[in-house]
Homo-oligomer: A and B are copies of this chain.
Amino acid sequence: MPQSVKVALLGCGTVGSEVVRLLHEQEHDLTARIGAPLELVGVAVRRLGRARELPIDPGLFTTDALGLVARDDVDIVVEVVGGIEPARTWLLEALHAGKSVVTANKALLGEDGATLHKAAADCGADLYYEASVAGAIPLLRPLRESLHGDRITRVTGIVNGTTNFILSSMDETGAGYAEALEEATALGYAEADPTADVEGFDAAAKAAILASMAFHSRVTSADVYREGITEVTAADVASAKAMGSTIKLLCIASKANGAVSVRVHPAMIPRTHPLAGVSDAFNAVFVEAEAAGQLMFYGRGAGGAPTASAVLGDVVAVARNRLAGVRSASESAYADLPVSPIGDVLTRYHISLDVSDKAGVLAAVAGVFAKHGVSIATVNQSGRGNQAVLVIVTHAAPDRALAATVAELRALDIVRAVASVLRVEGE
């Protein structure tokens, strides 16, 4: 049997501890699958001396991550610290030293994946990051490898467990956003500062990674149009229900006419859509490809054990590559496709208006849509005394035209309030 493949671990929190545990518990299976044992040779942590009930020699802990990744006896660097710096510096150092890298760092990959990919290619090292999107769900490898003979046209994902928990809870109980957030926080699904989740930053980084992978192009988090869920109201959720739909925070990446569009925003989807049944903190990614048709990948998006499972799958792959003396050759054919601004993206709106109930209102409202070239799919009017509620669902139109339509509706005298505006997807 060949000598061991040596692993350095950066970070030993929730995910890192699970990686250590799995390496230990599954030692026998891992050795059989790789053809050589994996050996943990160092664990970089912020502070030594914290109580860690882990089945490893305490002498493996170090606070010198940079020194660890450059050690001659390290073959694979596993990073589960997160954040842009110092993780980027460490991983670039590792790649430049010819180490293979496995990381769960969505923020770094989303912001600056290109630099890491270039370093990996220049140095003949592997860079794997299955755990960075949708936790345990094997997703990036199928996108990168299994669908290589096909053309992906669109990826629609629920990739943030916190917001999906909140929206599922609003849908089930009729609660408002604040109340549902409070519940999510109490149950540990939302962090004390939930901004990264509820404002869609986390989903946007994952959307950038997914789009890059699906379309073989470079997309960064900054390219992603982003709206969070903080404005979603109980009335919006009720409105969706009345239409046989539910509201999800979606990340959508699509490719048309040689350009890519990538966006994260809440949207109504019909309850018959496979993504509608994805509840609680689960994640799922719906993929449309020219030949394969519709595919969906579903599972846990976060948590120590699920994320560690994805990390270990990558570790096995890169360990095998090292033993075979090869690297995964997938990054050679990247294009730099233009990214369409949100205004150009074709989408549909669901608009709910409080209007005065008098003659000519519908004609005036319809006139605004017509002026902006937006075609109306359905109208539903219900009266309440001298007021009425108009619910309008449009056909697909450029987002710019839809936004302009809403702005003009807001300014109409007969429109007392634009009660809700939501995009409609998945039909």
Contact = CB atoms under 8 A, between A and B. Distances in A.
Interface of A: 18, 22, 26, 29-30, 32-33, 35, 130, 136-138, 141-142, 145-151, 216, 274, 277, 282, 284, 289-300, 303, 305-306, 308-317, 320, 324, 326, 329-330, 332-333
Contact of A298 (B151, B296, B303): B296
Given A142-B141, A333-B33, A136 B291 contact: yes
A297 B26 CA distance: 25
24 contacts: A29-B333, A32-B333, A136-B293, A136-B295, A137-B292, A138-B138, A138-B146, A141-B142, A147-B309, A148-B312, A148-B317, A149-B308, A274-B298, A284-B296, A289-B309, A291-B305, A291-B306, A292-B300, A292-B310, A293-B303, A293-B305, A296-B298, A324-B326, A324-B329
Q: Which of A274, A305, A320 gathers most chain B CB within 10 Å?
A: A274
Contact of A291 (B289, B308, B320): B308
B138 A330 contact: no
A152 B30 CA distance: 14
A279 B404 CA distance: 39
Q: Which of A292, A305, A314, A330 has the most CB of B within 10 A?
A: A292
Contacts of A293: 136, 299-300, 303, 305-306
Contacts of A291: 18, 22, 136, 305-306, 308-309, 312
Contacts of A30: 148-149
Given A291-B18, A294-B300, A300-B292, A316 B148 contact: yes
Nearest to A18: B291
Contact of A146 (B141, B150, B216, B324): B141
A297 B297 contact: yes
Contact of A147 (B284, B308, B313): B313
Given A146-B310, A291-B312, 7 more contacts: A142-B142, A145-B317, A149-B314, A292-B300, A292-B309, A324-B329, A326-B326
Contacts of A149: 22, 26, 30, 308-309, 311-316
Contact of A329 (B35, B137, B332): B35
Contact of A292 (B136, B289, B315, B330): B136
Contacts of A284: 296
A299 B299 contact: no
Given A274-B298, A293-B299, A298-B274, A329 B320 contact: yes
Of the candidates A299, A303, A332, the one having the most CB atoms from chain B within 10 angstroms of its own CB is A299
A14 B239 CA distance: 45
Contacts of A138: 138, 142, 145-147, 295
A130 to B, nearest CB: 6
* Most chain B CB neighbours (cut-off 10 Å) among A149, A282, A290, A326: A149
A26 B151 contact: yes
Contacts of A18: 291
A389 B303 CA distance: 46
A146 B216 CA distance: 20
A303 B274 CA distance: 20
Nearest to A135: B292
Q: Which of A136, A216, A300, A314 has the most CB of B within 10 A?
A: A136
Nearest to A315: B149
Given A292-B136, A292-B299, A330 B33 contact: yes
A245 to B, nearest CB: 15
A169 to B, nearest CB: 16
Contacts of A146: 130, 138, 141, 310, 313
A139 to B, nearest CB: 8
Contacts of A33: 148, 216, 330, 333
